[in-house]
Structure 1
């Protein structure tokens, strides 16, 4: 590593540079990020877009004494590199390495752990009020939030509160007109007017909330950023700086295709060309099976609606948005709104498929209970990224959905073991569903090459015997059937183990379970969710109600937050990989 960056291991060293040297540092930092992400993978475009802003913030403000919070954290790679993690940055998002998001345990510069959106303003405001209470009136508190994230309800709750305080809070709007997909909504249109020079003086929404508003300013003009940030330091109370950046800045391909280069996988660092992978003959991703199947269903049922909170590409609702733009909605980063919007449409007879990542449905738990389940509205929640998701780590694993949803009355929880089952559940859900339904499925590719088979009706709440056995019963849920099947096949005496796919965590197939309890005195449950309160717990509860005297072993995610790593590595840590299951079964036969 040549040049200036090699000598920078802390913001204190950064602040020793002449301002004229910062332009070269920005070039080196951008190249460093590109070179590592090209081979190690990760979130590229967001971090490239804020290189100058990152340098300027650490140059002007006295971090870590001044407190800096990055919203979501997709854009924090430059921040990590400048705050002592340059030499280990190649471990980003890997098992035992640093997190792809800000994380308090990594050091004092990561003031608040993020990973979900729209938390930065509330967190920074909390810090600012705490500083006032401690008499630290000169301390600065900065929240950097994107134009997609600031449209979320929680961000407005923070702005609303901050405007009636004397907190020393600077909110920086990193406006690049895109989150993962392009930003949507009326606020986006408002910000676009500001970007093109329209000055909403009398109706400035930010000033109406008692913030001192500045901008828009060019987020790639380092001298300009230094000047305005120094001015911000001198102003007391809540203030707001609107910064215009370009996601993917400095890599032509990333600037041209900002959606694909949000997290592009491996690519050629000099040109940005994505490395080619031969996907011929590989199964489709579950998300695409969902998206394409929904289009098939919508072609024959005009009452079908698709809704997603800012994930049309990630959830593949993009297919329906293209085919039926009047019946498919991206509502922005607004999970609570997405759930209640779905409920509202369901009251009017529409069949609503709400496509949302498992980890993000956590953000709308109240709406799931009060607005959907309490009123018994038949909304269909299609939970993508259920289970362990891999390198995004603890903030993104979808391991809690079974446990948190199982306690809710009226709500069914289904988990297809393959793509055909997913299709059939989606199909059956539009044939007169009478209560809300969760269909959970994993991140990544499925297991079947031939998935687009004719639709068949599913019987809700019914499991299936996959393999007979004489001594031990394995009860798997969802895609864990694959690991269980393989583990059984590797046993010395596989004929001793029966395998059942329960398909539903709620309602349980009590008839099937009663027959299993009668036949077997040793049972193993397997799930890719938390063991406490999950599918296995439900089986235990039912077994206790029947006074079952046998032994039931629960296998799933342990009672701890699982960090980043490949899905296989994390399944191994949880003991639910094939070899872990094989060993457990062998020990019980």
Structure 2
């Protein structure tokens, strides 16, 4: 094998030993490495291609891990991982047990935070700087790397306010490529554009709030970035180093991709930048097509996104109704309360977020939307297990969190027919908030109902056995629930499978169905604690229904990265596991109550 510069970089100390004239070769090797590995595994390609020189400069100036380098969002940390001795791990990037797609403290002492939600790095840096001051660690330095997109988030502004007024020597490296997924929006974007173009704006907002400002610096000029960082250290105060970079740099397919510069990719052909095979339709695309159709007949429907127009499927709606889409930047809290204002003004807002990012705006959902009983619909993409992005991106808390919101109705479609029906029901609701959740997955086959009872769909009913087990499925877990029922029926266990459609609040008819069965088993791809199963168990207790309710779902813990199917299997959410659990519970129940439980007729 031909020896390369990159093969000799086993840590930052080796990087510091390189001559300046060797660095151009190293940047080429790193980009080739990234394209080769990430195209094989999938991951965040564009952001990392854009920070190659910037990351090299940081590790040549600062002494990681003694100096804390904190990457905001974390998807721009691949180059950091390469330079800190983890090149071999890229063969297993985002696979179960392999290299994480974000910083991970257990992976390396160079990773200080497990940071993959945007706009947090400046607050971490503020706390680290305060701790170092109190502990007398003047030799350590704190560096926060944040993108212009992440700087649109409210938490980033709260941190800037404290950092600028605190006077502590924190270096904020602003990686300004003009976009997150999509181009950065708002007044900040306009101000940064003026700074990039050296226009005399009369003011510099960073200087106005207490920072020294250095820049703009060409973020692809290693020497220039090094000089700026060393100058920032010498100032002994909070400093913004404004680096201008190009997302996707050095890979023609990414440079030509104006949509998101290959922000996140699946497995693709590196030569063409295209998937190796056609992908089946996704839940996201099905939702986007349906919302665009709804928009044509519902002029009151408007849509909001937090810097994720395409990832949440809103581009079709935006093409047809551009004046009815609002991209608020990476600002979920603002999105929700702005939606409340839109609803107060007589419109029906549809707020489209990844389920994991709804966590950031629960106070606004509770106090700004629900308290006012406003007709706002939340569409939660990537609900449940998402797979390779790991613990911060699994959308596993939404059911538990939304279940505590008064007046909130939550639906989960099992197929695209139900997606269309439930979305139309949601946007027609006028007396309070609604939410619709679906996974990061391809859509499956349609699952017809045998009949509907007060809004509940009966998907399966044993014909020759008694009412032993009621399986309550949620969303796309309907398919394994039906298959589990077939397996149980073959073991002479009578089974009913019901899809509540609207999961929360609990439909009283579901409590009635529970009362007619010996055992209830709920199946959900959210945390068991506080989820649908918990809500049904409480409802049965309140109604003095004695049928035991057992819950299958995700643990109260953080689930690591891996494939969606493998993680669902690990937590008992396959047809075979569901059937096995039901069979065990039924056998235990019969063993403890062999005569007291009479078989109930149909």
Which bracket does the TM-score occupy, shorter chain normalised?
over 0.9
CA contact (8 A) 1:5 1:28 kept: yes
Shift of 1:389: 0.6
* Aligned ranges 1:34-45 → 2 under 5 Å: 34-45=35-46
Name the counterpart of 1:455.
none
CA contact (8 A) 2:68 2:112 kept: yes
Shift of 1:76: 0.5
Shift of 1:441: 1.2
For residues 161-188 of structure 1, the C-alpha deviation after alignment (integer angstroms, 9 at most, x for no partner) is 1111121101011011111122111111
Name the counterpart of 1:538.
535
Q: Give the secondary-structure state (helix, strand or coil) at the position aligned to 2:546.
A: coil
Name the counterpart of 2:457.
464
Shift of 1:89: 2.0
Instruction: Show structure 1 runs of 5+ residues with no match.
Output: 452-457
Name the counterpart of 2:500.
502
* Aligned ranges 1:254-269 → 2 under 5 Å: 254-258=254-258, 259=260, 261-269=262-270
Name the counterpart of 2:512.
514
Q: Does 1:133 align with 2:104?
A: no
Name the counterpart of 1:158.
159
Deviates more, 1:548-557 or 1:167-176: 548-557
CA contact (8 A) 2:318 2:325 kept: yes
Name the counterpart of 2:491.
493
Deviates more, 1:352-361 or 1:131-140: 131-140
For residues 25-64 of structure 1, the C-alpha deviation after alignment (integer angstroms, 9 at most, x for no partner) is 1111111111111111111000010001111101111111
* Aligned ranges 1:48-127 → 2 under 5 Å: 48-127=49-128
* Aligned ranges 1:137-286 → 2 under 5 Å: 137-200=138-201, 202-258=202-258, 259=260, 261-269=262-270, 271-279=271-279, 282=280, 284-286=281-283
For residues 291-331 of structure 1, the C-alpha deviation after alignment (integer angstroms, 9 at most, x for no partner) is 11111111112111111111110111111111001111111
CA contact (8 A) 1:71 1:114 kept: yes
Instruction: Show structure 2 runs of 5+ residues with no match.
Output: 587-602
CA contact (8 A) 2:247 2:261 kept: no
CA contact (8 A) 1:468 1:495 kept: no
For residues 446-489 of structure 1, the C-alpha deviation after alignment (integer angstroms, 9 at most, x for no partner) is 124799xxxxxx99x83222111332111111111112112223
Q: Give the secondary-structure state (helix, strand or coil) at the position aligned to 1:508.
A: coil
CA contact (8 A) 2:514 2:547 kept: no
* Aligned ranges 1:3-22 → 2 under 5 Å: 3-22=4-23
CA contact (8 A) 2:460 2:485 kept: no
Cα separation, 2, equivalents of 1:397 and 1:95: 14
Cα separation, 1, equivalents of 2:406 and 2:513: 26
For the structure 1 residues 467 and 267, does the alpha-carbon distance in structure 2 shift closer, same or farther, using more than 3 Å as the test?
closer
For the structure 1 residues 87 and 447, does the alpha-carbon distance in structure 2 shift closer, same or farther, using more than 3 Å as the test?
same
Cα separation, 2, equivalents of 1:529 and 1:44: 29
Deviates more, 1:578-587 or 1:71-80: 578-587
Deviates more, 1:495-504 or 1:339-348: 495-504
Cα separation, 2, equivalents of 1:429 and 1:152: 28
For residues 486-538 of structure 1, the C-alpha deviation after alignment (integer angstroms, 9 at most, x for no partner) is 22234433762211112223221112322331x21111110000000100001
Give the alignment's Cα RMSD to 1 decimal: 1.8
Q: Give the secondary-structure state (helix, strand or coil) at the position aligned to 2:553.
A: strand
For the structure 1 residues 289 and 260, does the alpha-carbon distance in structure 2 shift closer, same or farther, using more than 3 Å as the test?
farther
Cα separation, 2, equivalents of 1:450 and 1:480: 11
Cα separation, 1, equivalents of 2:510 and 2:163: 56
Name the counterpart of 2:594.
none
For the structure 1 residues 515 and 586, does the alpha-carbon distance in structure 2 shift closer, same or farther, using more than 3 Å as the test?
closer
Deviates more, 1:254-263 or 1:419-428: 254-263
Cα separation, 2, equivalents of 1:503 and 1:428: 11
Shift of 1:140: 1.2
Name the counterpart of 2:599.
none
Name the counterpart of 1:341.
338
Q: Does 1:373 align with 2:366?
A: no
Give the TM-score normalised by structure 1: 0.95
Q: Does 1:446 align with 2:443?
A: yes
Within the candidate set 387, 392, 395, 2:392 is matched to 395
For the structure 1 residues 575 and 145, does the alpha-carbon distance in structure 2 shift closer, same or farther, using more than 3 Å as the test?
same
Shift of 1:277: 1.5
Q: Give the secondary-structure state (helix, strand or coil) at the position aligned to 1:479.
A: helix
Give the TM-score normalised by structure 2: 0.93
